[in-house]
Every structure is written in structure tokens, then in C-alpha cells.
């Protein structure tokens, strides 16, 4: 009987039963509008208040610094466009990296068309920025630096704390935004300690529901809304709050930080095991892995398979019940070579032959063994039919 193995957790995760049950209760029992003055509204408002407490505790920040959004993309857009519009009199220069998620890169492209100047930092072979390049790029008119915490394709971890310290030393007025969509729930991220002014998070990457996320906004940050209307969330994001989604996300946050250390240890062990086994196969390269595996994310593995197109391998694995990705799911509808793989120097013949394996706390060693067995069977068979 064919097994089902889901290894595309960087695209989305399975919603936990606890989060789903709580959402059902909010949808069907406590369904009031949190803006309403009666008891049903007050009931709904309590879920939002409790969610802020849980999330703020995970970041060690003030509850008033949490703004609920529809997910990582909106949080990124809000951070960049909101800060750019509010601070353009102080400067029109923004710094980011060449390996960001499309939610950042496309927004930077938009801001460039509005007259802002964007500097794109390069990365080394492991996908990490060079701190001296960051330092040299900061100017008097630099209003914002945006650097991702964890790369969604190869799992590179950026030196966020070191970058934050440099930014504030060189120009204390420059704001620091971190896209933590892939890092939150895998690491303890403390904005105050790391000099982070804005932080983007998405619920569906941590076993919460889709369509909800949050943006941490430090209390001294000057930022304008990008959505206008009824003035909810103190006018920073109008629109009736997604109470079931917010409650489900907070439950997911509570659960993942309750067992964080043991979960991350398990993921690193599975990752090391998979890498050790897969590199023993002929013509396989694992991308962006530092000498110490703890120097990269515990759940993401980028694998290049010589002589086989990623799309072909992906569908061959799917036939065996194994689900992986050929790159960022958010860019999968735009057939293009990965900018991240190019940036880290992956050979041209492997750029279109790279899959992403991404695990979760639900992933088992048995599932990894089954996936490895499938690869051992599929790769030689596919290479037999590859034209040279």
C-alpha cells in the first residue's frame, strides 16, 4: 500500500487539531463581531486580547506592538510600504538582499517605481549576507533595512542580531525589518534584544490556519496604514478582524513554543540523517549547508539532482505519495530560475534540477526512510530516459 509523505512544509503546514477545534468554536459559538458593543462582541474581542498576550510572550514584547494581518505577504507589504510612506522626508534609500521572498522583492520593485532607491546585498555560497557589505551600504538617508531571518528555499539563517547591532550603530534612525515567516516557531526571536523594529509572521507555516498572520511593530516606529476603512486595530489596519484565524494562530504559537527545543532537536536529527543518506547517491548535491548543521534552518533541505529536471522528479515522487517542492510555492506559478540558487553559485546545469524537502514536527524517520527509498528507485530510472 502506497504511503503518503508530506515534505512541503515550507509551503504550508497541516493545521493542528487544537487550533482547528478552537477555530470551530469561534466560528460556530463565539461568532460575534469584535467591534460590537454587546456581549457577543466582547466575547470575540477576548480572543483577540488573549492572542496578543500569547504572541507577545513568545517575542517578549508589548501586546500593543502586535498588528494582525492576512499573512506574511501583507505583513511584508505593510512593513515596507508603510515605513517608506511615513519616512520619505528623512530619506528614500532602502536596503534588502538578493535572496528575499517575492513578497519583499516585488514590493521593493514597486517602491523603486515610486522613486525609492533600493540596494540589494549579495550573499555567500551558504546564502548568508556579508556584514561588511551591509555596513558599507547604510547611509544617512537609509530609512529601512529588510533582511529575512530564514531563507525559504535553502534554509540559510541570516546573522540577524549582528545585522541589527550594525544598523543601529551606523544609523540609529534606520529601521530594521525582518521577514521571519520561515524562522518563527523554529527559533526564539527577540525583537528588543536583536534591534528588530518590524517582524513579519505567517500562521500557516506553524500549524495554524491560512489567511492570517501578524506584524510586530516596535512602539517607536513611524509607519502609515496601507488599508483604510472602519478604523479597526487603532486605524492601522481597517477591516473586521479574522477572529477564528487569530485564535487558531495564537493556539499554534502557544503549542510550538511549548515544545520548541525538543521539536527543533528532532528536526535537526532528521535533517542530518536525510543529508547523510542522500549525498551517498550518485550525482546529488545538497545546497547551502554550513559545516555545522545548526548554522542553517532545521526543517529545509535543498537537493540538486544531476540530469533530472526538478518538475519531473517532483511528479515521479508524487506518484509514490511523496510531496516535495521545486522551490518557493509562492513563485511556483511563475516559471523562472531561482534567484537564490543563482546567488549562492549553484552550477547552471543544476538550477533547474533542484527540489526542496521541508519537514515539520509531524515528520517521522519512517517517512524519511520511505522517501530515501523512493529516490533510490526513481533517480536511476529517470536518468535512463534523460537525453544527453
Rg (CA), the chain: 21
Backbone φ and ψ of 330, nearest 5° = -70, -15
Strands 300-305 and 354-358, how do they pair?
antiparallel
Give Cα separations from 103 to 72, 212, 250, 268, 354 (angstroms).
8, 15, 23, 28, 22
Catalytic site residue 330? yes
Rounded CA gap, 44 and 286, in Å? 47
30 grid coordinates: 463565539
Compute the distance between CA of residue 181 and CA of residue 195 in angstroms, rounded to an integer: 18
Rounded Cα distance between 183 and 15, Å, is 18
User: Do 225 and 235 contact (CB within 8 A), yes or no?
Assistant: yes
Catalytic residue, candidates 108, 296, 330, 374: 330
3-state secondary structure of 208: coil
Torsion of CA 227, 95, 333, 244, to 10 degrees: -40
Find, among 98, 35, 64, 52, the residue nearest to 345 by Cα: 98
Cβ atoms < 10 Å from Cβ of 288: 27
DSSP 30-48: S---TT-SSHHHHHHHHHH
Catalytic residues: 330
Amino acid at each position: 500500500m502506497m504511503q503518503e509523505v508530506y515534505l512541503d512544509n515550507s509551503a504550508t503546514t497541516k493545521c493542528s487539531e487544537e487550533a482547528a477545534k478552537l477555530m470551530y468554536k469561534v466560528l460556530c459559538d463565539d461568532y460575534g463581531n469584535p467591534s460590537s458593543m454587546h456581549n457577543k462582541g466582547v466575547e470575540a474581542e477576548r480572543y483577540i486580547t488573549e492572542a496578543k498576550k500569547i504572541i507577545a510572550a513568545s517575542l517578549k514584547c508589548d501586546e500593543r506592538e502586535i498588528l494582525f494581518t492576512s499573512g506574511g505577504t501583507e505583513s511584508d507589504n505593510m512593513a515596507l510600504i508603510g515605513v517608506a510612506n511615513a519616512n520619505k522626508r528623512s530619506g528614500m534609500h532602502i536596503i534588502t538582499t538578493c535572496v528575499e521572498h517575492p513578497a519583499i522583492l516585488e514590493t521593493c520593485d514597486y517602491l523603486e517605481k515610486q522613486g525609492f532607491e533600493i540596494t540589494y546585498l549579495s550573499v555567500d555560497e551558504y546564502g548568508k549576507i556579508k556584514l561588511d557589505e551591509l555596513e558599507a551600504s547604510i547611509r544617512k538617508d537609509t530609512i529601512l533595512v529588510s533582511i529575512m531571518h530564514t531563507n525559504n528555499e535553502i534554509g540559510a539563517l541570516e546573522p540577524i542580531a549582528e545585522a541589527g547591532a550594525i544598523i543601529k550603530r551606523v544609523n540609529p534612525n534606520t529601521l530594521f525589518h525582518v521577514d521571519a515567516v520561515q524562522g518563527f516557531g523554529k527559533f526564539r526571536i527577540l525583537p528588543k534584544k536583536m534591534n528588530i523594529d518590524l517582524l513579519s509572521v505567517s500562521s500557516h507555516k506553524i500549524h495554524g490556519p491560512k489567511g492570517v498572520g501578524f506584524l510586530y511593530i516596535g512602539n517607536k516606529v513611524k509607519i502609515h496604514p496601507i488599508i483604510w476603512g472602519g478604523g479597526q486595530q487603532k486605524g492601522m489596519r481597517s477591516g473586521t478582524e479574522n477572529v477564528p484565524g487569530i485564535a487558531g494562530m495564537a493556539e499554534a504559537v502557544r503549542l510550538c513554543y511549548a515544545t520548541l527545543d525538543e521539536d527543533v532537536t528532532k528536526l535537526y536529527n532528521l535533517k542530518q540523517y536525510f543529508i547523510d543518506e542522500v549525498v551517498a547517491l550518485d550525482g546529488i548535491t545538497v545546497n547551502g549547508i554550513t559545516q555545522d548543521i545548526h548554522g542553517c534552518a532545521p526543517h529545509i533541505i535543498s537537493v540538486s539532482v544531476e540530469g533530472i529536471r526538478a518538475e519531473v522528479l517532483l511528479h515521479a515522487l508524487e506518484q509514490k505519495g511523496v510531496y516535495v517542492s521545486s522551490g518557493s510555492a509562492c513563485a511556483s506559478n511563475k516559471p523562472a530560475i531561482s534567484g537564490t540558487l543563482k546567488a549562492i553559485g549553484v552550477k547552471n546545469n543544476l538550477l533547474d534540477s533542484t527540489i526542496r524537502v521541508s519537514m515539520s514536527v509531524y515528520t517521522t524517520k519512517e517517512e524519511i526512510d520511505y522517501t530515501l527509498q523512493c529516490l533510490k528507485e526513481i533517480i536511476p530510472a529517470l536518468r535512463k530516459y534523460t537525453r544527453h
